[in-house]
Protein backbone atom coordinates (compact mmCIF):
# COMPACT_ATOMS: atom_id res chain seq x y z
CA UNK A 1 0.00 0.00 0.00
CA UNK A 2 1.19 3.55 -0.72
CA UNK A 3 2.64 5.84 1.90
CA UNK A 4 1.04 8.74 3.67
CA UNK A 5 2.14 12.32 4.28
CA UNK A 6 0.60 14.37 7.07
CA UNK A 7 0.84 17.65 8.99
CA UNK A 8 2.01 17.24 12.59
CA UNK A 9 2.50 19.65 15.47
CA UNK A 10 6.23 19.99 16.03
CA UNK A 11 6.30 22.36 19.01
CA UNK A 12 7.55 25.94 19.26
CA UNK A 13 4.68 27.33 17.23
CA UNK A 14 5.35 25.22 14.17
CA UNK A 15 4.13 22.27 12.13
CA UNK A 16 5.97 19.75 9.98
CA UNK A 17 4.87 17.69 7.00
CA UNK A 18 6.13 14.18 7.53
CA UNK A 19 5.66 10.54 6.56
CA UNK A 20 3.23 8.58 8.72
CA UNK A 21 1.72 5.11 8.49
CA UNK A 22 -1.00 4.41 5.98
CA UNK A 23 -4.29 4.23 7.92
CA UNK A 24 -5.81 0.93 9.00
CA UNK A 25 -9.24 0.05 10.34
CA UNK A 26 -7.84 0.06 13.84
CA UNK A 27 -6.59 2.86 16.09
CA UNK A 28 -2.87 2.30 16.71
CA UNK A 29 -0.76 3.91 19.42
CA UNK A 30 0.78 7.28 18.65
CA UNK A 31 1.10 10.87 19.87
CA UNK A 32 -1.99 11.88 21.80
CA UNK A 33 -3.78 8.52 21.52
CA UNK A 34 -5.59 7.67 24.73
CA UNK A 35 -4.18 4.37 26.08
CA UNK A 36 -7.71 3.01 26.45
CA UNK A 37 -8.30 3.61 22.73
CA UNK A 38 -5.14 1.84 21.52
CA UNK A 39 -6.01 -1.23 19.45
CA UNK A 40 -9.63 -0.22 19.00
CA UNK A 41 -11.01 -2.11 15.99
CA UNK A 42 -12.97 -0.07 13.43
CA UNK A 43 -14.57 -2.47 10.96
CA UNK A 44 -17.41 0.05 10.94
CA UNK A 45 -15.02 2.56 9.38
CA UNK A 46 -13.68 3.59 5.99
CA UNK A 47 -10.36 4.83 4.65
CA UNK A 48 -10.46 8.03 2.65
CA UNK A 49 -8.21 9.53 0.03
CA UNK A 50 -8.33 13.10 1.28
CA UNK A 51 -9.58 15.51 -1.38
CA UNK A 52 -9.50 18.63 0.81
CA UNK A 53 -8.75 19.40 4.44
CA UNK A 54 -8.74 22.82 6.04
CA UNK A 55 -6.63 24.65 8.59
CA UNK A 56 -8.80 25.70 11.54
CA UNK A 57 -8.34 28.30 14.23
CA UNK A 58 -8.69 25.49 16.75
CA UNK A 59 -5.57 23.92 15.25
CA UNK A 60 -3.76 27.22 15.78
CA UNK A 61 -4.48 27.12 19.53
CA UNK A 62 -2.49 23.89 19.72
CA UNK A 63 0.30 25.10 17.46
CA UNK A 64 0.69 28.25 19.55
CA UNK A 65 1.26 26.04 22.59
CA UNK A 66 -1.98 27.09 24.25
CA UNK A 67 -3.07 23.51 24.95
CA UNK A 68 -1.43 20.34 26.25
CA UNK A 69 -1.12 18.85 22.74
CA UNK A 70 1.95 16.59 22.44
CA UNK A 71 4.56 17.05 19.74
CA UNK A 72 3.97 14.70 16.83
CA UNK A 73 0.17 14.96 17.01
CA UNK A 74 -1.22 14.71 13.47
CA UNK A 75 -3.56 17.65 12.99
CA UNK A 76 -6.75 18.23 11.06
CA UNK A 77 -10.45 17.76 11.75
CA UNK A 78 -11.97 19.32 8.62
CA UNK A 79 -12.00 16.47 6.12
CA UNK A 80 -13.55 15.79 2.71
CA UNK A 81 -12.49 12.69 0.82
CA UNK A 82 -13.11 9.75 -1.50
CA UNK A 83 -13.78 6.34 0.02
CA UNK A 84 -11.11 3.86 -1.08
CA UNK A 85 -11.69 1.07 1.46
CA UNK A 86 -14.65 0.02 3.58
CA UNK A 87 -14.71 -2.07 6.74
CA UNK A 88 -16.49 -5.40 7.04
CA UNK A 89 -19.42 -3.84 8.91
CA UNK A 90 -20.01 -0.91 6.56
CA UNK A 91 -23.28 -1.38 4.69
CA UNK A 92 -24.30 1.87 3.01
CA UNK A 93 -21.10 3.78 2.21
CA UNK A 94 -19.34 2.51 -0.90
CA UNK A 95 -15.93 2.74 -2.52
CA UNK A 96 -15.77 5.77 -4.77
CA UNK A 97 -18.20 7.85 -2.72
CA UNK A 98 -17.18 11.46 -2.14
CA UNK A 99 -18.03 12.37 1.46
CA UNK A 100 -17.84 15.13 4.03
CA UNK A 101 -16.72 14.04 7.50
CA UNK A 102 -18.14 15.82 10.57
CA UNK A 103 -15.32 16.87 12.85
CA UNK A 104 -17.24 15.32 15.77
CA UNK A 105 -16.57 11.60 16.04
CA UNK A 106 -19.77 9.89 17.07
CA UNK A 107 -20.78 6.25 17.46
CA UNK A 108 -24.47 6.63 16.63
CA UNK A 109 -25.37 4.16 19.36
CA UNK A 110 -25.12 5.92 22.71
CA UNK A 111 -27.90 7.92 24.32
CA UNK A 112 -26.44 11.27 23.30
CA UNK A 113 -26.01 10.27 19.66
CA UNK A 114 -29.56 8.92 19.53
CA UNK A 115 -30.76 12.29 20.85
CA UNK A 116 -28.79 14.11 18.12
CA UNK A 117 -26.05 15.30 20.48
CA UNK A 118 -23.25 13.92 18.34
CA UNK A 119 -20.83 16.53 19.69
CA UNK A 120 -20.84 14.78 23.07
CA UNK A 121 -20.81 11.10 22.11
CA UNK A 122 -20.24 8.89 25.14
CA UNK A 123 -18.29 6.09 23.47
CA UNK A 124 -15.40 7.58 21.48
CA UNK A 125 -13.27 9.36 24.09
CA UNK A 126 -12.39 7.64 27.38
CA UNK A 127 -11.67 10.97 29.10
CA UNK A 128 -14.88 12.92 28.53
CA UNK A 129 -17.91 13.08 26.22
CA UNK A 130 -17.06 14.24 22.71
CA UNK A 131 -14.23 13.65 20.30
CA UNK A 132 -12.59 15.01 17.16
CA UNK A 133 -9.86 14.08 14.70
CA UNK A 134 -6.35 15.33 15.36
CA UNK A 135 -7.16 17.21 18.54
CA UNK A 136 -5.74 17.23 22.04
CA UNK A 137 -7.61 15.26 24.72
CA UNK A 138 -10.15 14.02 22.19
CA UNK A 139 -9.27 10.34 22.28
CA UNK A 140 -6.34 10.37 19.90
CA UNK A 141 -8.10 9.77 16.58
CA UNK A 142 -5.55 10.55 13.85
CA UNK A 143 -6.03 13.87 12.10
CA UNK A 144 -6.98 14.40 8.49
CA UNK A 145 -4.43 16.95 7.29
CA UNK A 146 -2.95 14.06 5.39
CA UNK A 147 -3.11 12.19 2.13
CA UNK A 148 -5.20 9.39 3.67
CA UNK A 149 -7.22 9.04 6.87
CA UNK A 150 -9.41 6.49 8.65
CA UNK A 151 -12.98 7.49 9.58
CA UNK A 152 -14.87 5.28 12.08
CA UNK A 153 -18.65 4.71 12.26
CA UNK A 154 -18.95 5.63 8.59
CA UNK A 155 -22.55 4.57 7.96
CA UNK A 156 -23.72 6.86 10.73
CA UNK A 157 -21.41 9.82 10.30
CA UNK A 158 -20.35 10.66 6.79
CA UNK A 159 -22.36 12.86 4.44
CA UNK A 160 -22.26 11.41 0.92
CA UNK A 161 -22.57 13.92 -1.90
CA UNK A 162 -25.29 12.82 -4.33
CA UNK A 163 -23.40 13.70 -7.53
CA UNK A 164 -19.62 13.43 -7.47
CA UNK A 165 -18.98 15.65 -10.50
CA UNK A 166 -21.34 18.35 -9.21
CA UNK A 167 -19.67 18.17 -5.81
CA UNK A 168 -16.20 18.61 -7.27
CA UNK A 169 -17.41 21.73 -9.09
CA UNK A 170 -18.36 23.18 -5.71
CA UNK A 171 -15.65 21.56 -3.63
CA UNK A 172 -14.38 24.85 -2.15
CA UNK A 173 -17.82 25.42 -0.63
CA UNK A 174 -18.49 21.80 0.31
CA UNK A 175 -15.16 21.43 2.11
CA UNK A 176 -16.54 23.88 4.70
CA UNK A 177 -19.29 21.40 5.73
CA UNK A 178 -17.01 19.38 8.01
CA UNK A 179 -16.77 22.20 10.58
CA UNK A 180 -16.65 25.89 9.82
CA UNK A 181 -19.99 26.35 8.02
CA UNK A 182 -22.05 24.28 10.50
CA UNK A 183 -20.15 25.91 13.37
CA UNK A 184 -20.91 29.42 12.16
CA UNK A 185 -24.51 28.44 11.47
CA UNK A 186 -24.84 26.82 14.91
CA UNK A 187 -23.62 30.03 16.54
CA UNK A 188 -26.21 32.09 14.68
CA UNK A 189 -29.05 29.61 15.03
CA UNK A 190 -28.58 29.02 18.76
CA UNK A 191 -28.33 32.77 19.36
CA UNK A 192 -31.86 32.96 17.99
CA UNK A 193 -31.12 34.78 14.74
CA UNK A 194 -34.25 34.99 12.59
CA UNK A 195 -35.95 37.20 10.02
CA UNK A 196 -35.17 40.84 10.80
CA UNK A 197 -32.69 40.20 13.62
CA UNK A 198 -29.85 42.56 14.33
CA UNK A 199 -26.69 40.60 15.11
CA UNK A 200 -23.24 41.34 16.52
CA UNK A 201 -20.45 38.89 15.77
CA UNK A 202 -17.23 39.07 17.76
CA UNK A 203 -14.33 38.01 15.57
CA UNK A 204 -13.83 38.17 11.80
CA UNK A 205 -11.76 35.03 11.48
CA UNK A 206 -13.15 32.21 9.32
CA UNK A 207 -15.71 31.10 11.93
CA UNK A 208 -16.86 34.67 12.47
CA UNK A 209 -17.24 35.18 8.71
CA UNK A 210 -19.12 31.89 8.45
CA UNK A 211 -21.40 33.00 11.29
CA UNK A 212 -22.00 36.32 9.52
CA UNK A 213 -22.94 34.58 6.27
CA UNK A 214 -25.15 32.18 8.23
CA UNK A 215 -26.92 35.07 9.98
CA UNK A 216 -27.67 36.51 6.56
CA UNK A 217 -29.06 33.15 5.41
CA UNK A 218 -31.31 33.10 8.48
CA UNK A 219 -32.75 36.50 7.52
CA UNK A 220 -30.87 38.98 9.71
CA UNK A 221 -31.52 42.59 8.78
CA UNK A 222 -28.13 43.87 9.94
CA UNK A 223 -24.98 41.87 10.70
CA UNK A 224 -22.21 43.74 12.52
CA UNK A 225 -18.75 42.16 12.79
CA UNK A 226 -16.07 43.33 15.23
CA UNK A 227 -12.35 42.58 15.03
CA UNK A 228 -8.92 44.07 15.67
CA UNK A 229 -7.61 43.38 12.14
CA UNK A 230 -8.74 45.67 9.34
CA UNK A 231 -8.05 43.13 6.57
CA UNK A 232 -10.53 40.73 8.12
CA UNK A 233 -13.12 43.49 8.50
CA UNK A 234 -12.70 44.31 4.80
CA UNK A 235 -13.53 40.69 4.05
CA UNK A 236 -16.70 40.98 6.17
CA UNK A 237 -17.73 44.13 4.32
CA UNK A 238 -17.21 42.35 0.99
CA UNK A 239 -20.45 40.42 1.49
CA UNK A 240 -22.57 43.10 3.10
CA UNK A 241 -21.67 43.25 6.79
CA UNK A 242 -21.25 46.36 8.90
CA UNK A 243 -18.00 46.40 10.87
CA UNK A 244 -16.38 47.75 14.03
CA UNK A 245 -12.61 47.99 14.39
CA UNK A 246 -12.12 47.15 18.07
CA UNK A 247 -8.59 48.55 18.09
CA UNK A 248 -10.08 51.99 17.34
CA UNK A 249 -13.36 51.77 19.25
CA UNK A 250 -13.39 50.07 22.65
CA UNK A 251 -17.04 50.89 23.40
CA UNK A 252 -18.93 48.37 21.27
CA UNK A 253 -22.35 49.58 22.40
CA UNK A 254 -21.56 53.12 21.29
CA UNK A 255 -20.50 51.92 17.86
CA UNK A 256 -23.57 49.71 17.53
CA UNK A 257 -25.68 52.75 18.44
CA UNK A 258 -24.11 54.67 15.57
CA UNK A 259 -25.01 51.86 13.15
CA UNK A 260 -28.47 50.88 14.41
CA UNK A 261 -29.71 53.92 16.32
CA UNK A 262 -29.88 51.82 19.51
CA UNK A 263 -26.92 50.52 21.57
CA UNK A 264 -27.92 46.86 21.52
CA UNK A 265 -28.56 43.92 19.22
CA UNK A 266 -31.07 41.09 19.25
CA UNK A 267 -28.39 38.39 19.23
CA UNK A 268 -24.62 38.04 19.53
CA UNK A 269 -22.10 35.37 18.61
CA UNK A 270 -18.67 34.86 20.21
CA UNK A 271 -16.35 33.55 17.49
CA UNK A 272 -13.12 34.44 19.32
CA UNK A 273 -12.81 32.14 22.33
CA UNK A 274 -10.24 31.97 25.08
CA UNK A 275 -7.41 33.85 23.30
CA UNK A 276 -9.46 37.05 23.15
CA UNK A 277 -7.68 40.43 23.25
CA UNK A 278 -8.80 43.92 24.19
CA UNK A 279 -8.62 47.06 22.04
CA UNK A 280 -4.99 47.63 23.01
CA UNK A 281 -4.19 44.02 21.99
CA UNK A 282 -3.79 42.93 25.61
CA UNK A 283 -4.95 39.38 26.36
CA UNK A 284 -8.32 39.37 28.12
CA UNK A 285 -9.95 35.94 27.89
CA UNK A 286 -13.35 37.01 29.26
CA UNK A 287 -13.45 40.28 27.30
CA UNK A 288 -15.67 39.08 24.47
CA UNK A 289 -18.16 37.23 26.64
CA UNK A 290 -18.64 40.22 28.91
CA UNK A 291 -18.94 42.64 26.01
CA UNK A 292 -21.56 40.58 24.18
CA UNK A 293 -23.63 40.22 27.35
CA UNK A 294 -23.55 44.00 27.70
CA UNK A 295 -24.52 44.74 24.12
CA UNK A 296 -27.22 42.06 23.66
CA UNK A 297 -30.77 43.03 24.57
CA UNK A 298 -32.65 41.65 27.57
CA UNK A 299 -34.02 38.28 26.58
CA UNK A 300 -31.54 37.99 23.72
CA UNK A 301 -29.40 35.01 22.84
CA UNK A 302 -25.65 34.40 22.83
CA UNK A 303 -24.16 31.73 20.60
CA UNK A 304 -20.66 30.76 21.74
CA UNK A 305 -18.88 28.60 19.14
CA UNK A 306 -15.56 30.22 20.11
CA UNK A 307 -13.31 27.65 21.78
CA UNK A 308 -12.71 27.60 25.54
CA UNK A 309 -10.44 25.07 27.24
CA UNK A 310 -9.87 23.61 30.69
CA UNK A 311 -6.06 23.74 30.40
CA UNK A 312 -4.17 26.68 28.89
CA UNK A 313 -0.42 26.55 29.59
CA UNK A 314 0.10 29.98 28.01
CA UNK A 315 -2.55 31.85 29.99
CA UNK A 316 -1.73 35.10 31.75
CA UNK A 317 -2.85 33.96 35.22
CA UNK A 318 -3.56 30.81 37.19
CA UNK A 319 -7.34 31.04 36.92
CA UNK A 320 -7.23 31.37 33.14
CA UNK A 321 -4.86 28.39 32.94
CA UNK A 322 -7.72 26.29 34.33
CA UNK A 323 -10.32 27.92 32.09
CA UNK A 324 -11.74 29.86 35.04
CA UNK A 325 -12.74 33.27 33.68
CA UNK A 326 -13.98 36.42 35.38
CA UNK A 327 -17.46 36.75 33.89
CA UNK A 328 -20.16 39.35 34.50
CA UNK A 329 -22.61 36.49 34.84
CA UNK A 330 -24.91 38.51 37.07
CA UNK A 331 -25.49 40.88 34.15
CA UNK A 332 -26.39 37.98 31.85
CA UNK A 333 -28.72 36.57 34.50
CA UNK A 334 -30.38 39.92 35.14
CA UNK A 335 -30.99 40.35 31.40
CA UNK A 336 -32.42 36.79 31.11
CA UNK A 337 -30.07 35.99 28.26
CA UNK A 338 -29.59 32.51 26.89
CA UNK A 339 -26.16 30.95 26.33
CA UNK A 340 -25.29 28.00 24.09
CA UNK A 341 -21.74 26.67 24.27
CA UNK A 342 -19.67 23.67 23.25
CA UNK A 343 -18.72 21.87 20.07
CA UNK A 344 -21.15 22.11 17.18
CA UNK A 345 -23.24 18.98 16.49
CA UNK A 346 -22.35 19.08 12.80
CA UNK A 347 -24.80 16.36 11.79
CA UNK A 348 -27.74 18.58 12.77
CA UNK A 349 -26.84 21.01 10.00
CA UNK A 350 -24.57 19.59 7.32
CA UNK A 351 -27.22 18.01 5.07
CA UNK A 352 -29.30 21.20 4.87
CA UNK A 353 -26.24 23.37 4.33
CA UNK A 354 -25.05 20.98 1.60
CA UNK A 355 -28.35 21.51 -0.24
CA UNK A 356 -28.03 25.27 0.17
CA UNK A 357 -24.60 25.09 -1.47
CA UNK A 358 -25.61 22.74 -4.28
CA UNK A 359 -28.62 24.91 -5.13
CA UNK A 360 -26.66 28.18 -5.06
CA UNK A 361 -28.24 29.58 -1.90
CA UNK A 362 -24.97 29.75 0.05
CA UNK A 363 -21.61 31.19 -1.00
CA UNK A 364 -19.49 30.22 1.96
CA UNK A 365 -16.16 29.86 0.11
CA UNK A 366 -16.25 33.49 -0.98
CA UNK A 367 -17.41 34.65 2.45
CA UNK A 368 -14.38 33.10 4.17
CA UNK A 369 -12.00 33.71 1.24
CA UNK A 370 -11.10 30.04 0.68
CA UNK A 371 -7.47 29.81 -0.45
CA UNK A 372 -6.04 26.55 -1.83
CA UNK A 373 -2.48 25.43 -1.02
CA UNK A 374 -0.71 22.09 -1.24
CA UNK A 375 -0.17 19.79 1.72
CA UNK A 376 3.56 20.58 1.62
CA UNK A 377 2.72 24.28 1.95
CA UNK A 378 0.92 23.69 5.25
CA UNK A 379 3.67 25.33 7.39
CA UNK A 380 3.31 28.47 5.27
CA UNK A 381 -0.48 28.32 5.66
CA UNK A 382 -0.23 28.05 9.45
CA UNK A 383 2.22 30.96 9.61
CA UNK A 384 0.06 33.17 7.40
CA UNK A 385 -3.12 32.29 9.25
CA UNK A 386 -1.45 33.08 12.56
CA UNK A 387 -0.52 36.53 11.27
CA UNK A 388 -4.22 37.36 10.86
CA UNK A 389 -4.72 37.22 7.11
CA UNK A 390 -8.33 37.12 5.93
CA UNK A 391 -8.10 33.67 4.38
CA UNK A 392 -9.38 30.17 5.04
CA UNK A 393 -6.59 27.84 3.93
CA UNK A 394 -7.68 24.66 2.15
CA UNK A 395 -5.05 21.93 1.85
CA UNK A 396 -5.10 19.97 -1.42
CA UNK A 397 -3.07 16.80 -0.76
CA UNK A 398 -3.49 15.21 -4.19
CA UNK A 399 -3.93 18.29 -6.41
CA UNK A 400 -7.58 17.37 -7.03
CA UNK A 401 -8.96 20.78 -6.04
CA UNK A 402 -6.58 22.82 -8.15
CA UNK A 403 -7.20 20.53 -11.11
CA UNK A 404 -10.82 21.75 -11.18
Same domain, yes or no: 22 and 126 = yes
Among the candidates 340, 359, 381, a domain finishes at 340
**CB-CB contact of 307 with 61 (8 Å):** yes
β-strand partners of 242: 224
Within-domain flag for 402: no
Tell me how many domains the chain contains: 2
Q: What is the CATH number of the domain that holds 87?
A: 3.90.180.10
Q: What is the mean pLDDT of residues 249-265?
A: 93
Give me the chain's average pLDDT, please.
95
**What span, in angstroms and rounded, lies between the C-alpha atoms of 76 and 380?**
15
Same domain, yes or no: 202 and 326 = yes
Tell me the pLDDT tens digit for each residue of 287-302: 889 999 999 999 999 9
pLDDT at residue 287 in the model: 86
Among the candidates 340, 357, 381, a domain finishes at 340
pLDDT at residue 2 in the model: 67
Q: Residue 104: which domain range?
A: 4-179+345-395
Q: Kindly indicate the confidence band of residue 398, based on its pLDDT and cuts at 50, 70 and 90.
A: very high
Same domain, yes or no: 323 and 366 = no
**What span, in angstroms and rounded, lies between the C-alpha atoms of 277 and 388?**
13
pLDDT at residue 293 in the model: 95
Q: Kindly indicate the confidence band of residue 279, based on its pLDDT and cuts at 50, 70 and 90.
A: low
Same domain, yes or no: 187 and 316 = yes
Instruction: From 273, 293, 269, 145, select the one nearest 214 (Cα to Cα).
Output: 269
pLDDT at residue 403 in the model: 79
Same domain, yes or no: 263 and 195 = yes
**What span, in angstroms and rounded, lies between the C-alpha atoms of 132 and 27?**
14
pLDDT at residue 280 in the model: 66
pLDDT at residue 158 in the model: 98
Q: What is the mean pLDDT of residues 346-359?
A: 98
Tell me the pLDDT tens digit for each residue of 39-97: 999 999 999 999 999 999 999 999 998 899 999 999 999 999 999 999 999 999 999 99
Same domain, yes or no: 153 and 14 = yes
Within-domain flag for 403: no
Report pTM: 0.96
Q: What is the mean pLDDT of residues 364-388?
A: 97
Within-domain flag for 404: no
Within-domain flag for 70: yes
Q: What is the mean pLDDT of residues 216-223?
A: 98
Instruction: From 269, 286, 292, select the one nearest 187 (Cα to Cα).
Output: 269
Within-domain flag for 385: yes
Question: Residue 1 pLDDT more than 70?
Answer: no
Within-domain flag for 400: no
Within-domain flag for 362: yes
Within-domain flag for 316: yes
Among the candidates 299, 324, 340, a domain finishes at 340
The pairing of beta strand 242-245 with beta strand 265-270: unpaired
Same domain, yes or no: 69 and 154 = yes
Same domain, yes or no: 390 and 324 = no
β-strand partners of 86: 46
Same domain, yes or no: 207 and 302 = yes
Rg (CA), the chain: 20
Same domain, yes or no: 101 and 25 = yes
Helix (H) or strand (E) holding 332: helix 329-334
Q: What is the CATH number of the domain that holds 297?
A: 3.40.50.720
Same domain, yes or no: 11 and 147 = yes
Same domain, yes or no: 312 and 368 = no
Amino acid sequence: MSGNRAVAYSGNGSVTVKDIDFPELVLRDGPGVNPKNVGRKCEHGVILKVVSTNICGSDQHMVRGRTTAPEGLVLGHEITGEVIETGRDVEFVRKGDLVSVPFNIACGRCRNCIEGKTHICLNVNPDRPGSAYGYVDMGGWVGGQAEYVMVPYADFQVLTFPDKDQAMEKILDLTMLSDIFPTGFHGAYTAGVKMGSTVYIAGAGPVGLAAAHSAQLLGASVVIVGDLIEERLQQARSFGCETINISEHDDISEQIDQILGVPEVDAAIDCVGFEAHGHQHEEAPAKVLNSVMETTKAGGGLGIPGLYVTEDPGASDEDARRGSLKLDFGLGWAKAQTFVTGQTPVMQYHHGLMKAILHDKADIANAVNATVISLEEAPYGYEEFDSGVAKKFVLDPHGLVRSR
